[in-house]
A and B are shown apart, each in its own frame.
Chain A
């Protein structure tokens, strides 16, 4: 079975600082997608950033960037200039090529300290 591991159940960061959330995964596939989704309290899950496994370049989306290490099967999320609205549960997610189903990690709850 495919697994996605997030070893940090909770993290906190001072507003305007930088924080990195860790993720490792297990797969035998060479083509796949990795995502970070955020789930704010009582709100819908939304996509933060996506990484295609065949791309060596790390994805970036404004204040969000990833460090994708394919050989190590590691996929961390860096949030720069943290804002209060970043407070949420963050899930590391792996998808098959074609994206039929998502495999989620257990999540990291991020708290932003004003």
Chain B
């Protein structure tokens, strides 16, 4: 098991461009989470999936953001018409949820987005 992986690790883009990030969770994990971490702050929840279903979205996830997990495995997070305020580290986490309360989330290394 190689853990949660994210690609790319770094992305520099110009304002107004679209970007897409990918997250590959731990293989047997059915839940996948996206968080955003700005400089000097703790991560903030964006959205999460159980299998392919998106169960919750934060109000931080504006209509320029869309996340998918089409086959219940990897997930993509797309940001359209990027703004400088989107510059942040985007973290992905996964967990195995079997109906009980113990549900540790394992984090990936993150994708650092810089919008110029």
Contacts and interface: CB of A to CB of B under 8 A. Distances in A.
Interface in A36-90: 37, 43-47, 50, 52
Nearest to A45: B107
Given A99-B103, A100-B55, A106 B48 contact: no
Contact of A99 (B43, B56, B105): B105
Most buried by A among B40, B43, B55, B104: B43
Nearest to A42: B109
Contacts, number: 57
Contact of A106 (B41, B97, B101): B41
B41 A102 contact: no
Contacts of A103: 45
A46 B107 contact: yes
A10 B42 CA distance: 14
A93 B37 CA distance: 14
Interface residues of A, number: 24
Interface in B70-111: 91, 93, 95, 97, 101-105, 107-110
Nearest to B9: A42
A114 interface: no
Contacts of A107: 41-42
Contact of A33 (B33, B35, B101): B101
A47 B104 contact: yes
Contacts of B40: 106
Contacts of A101: 33, 45, 48, 56, 58
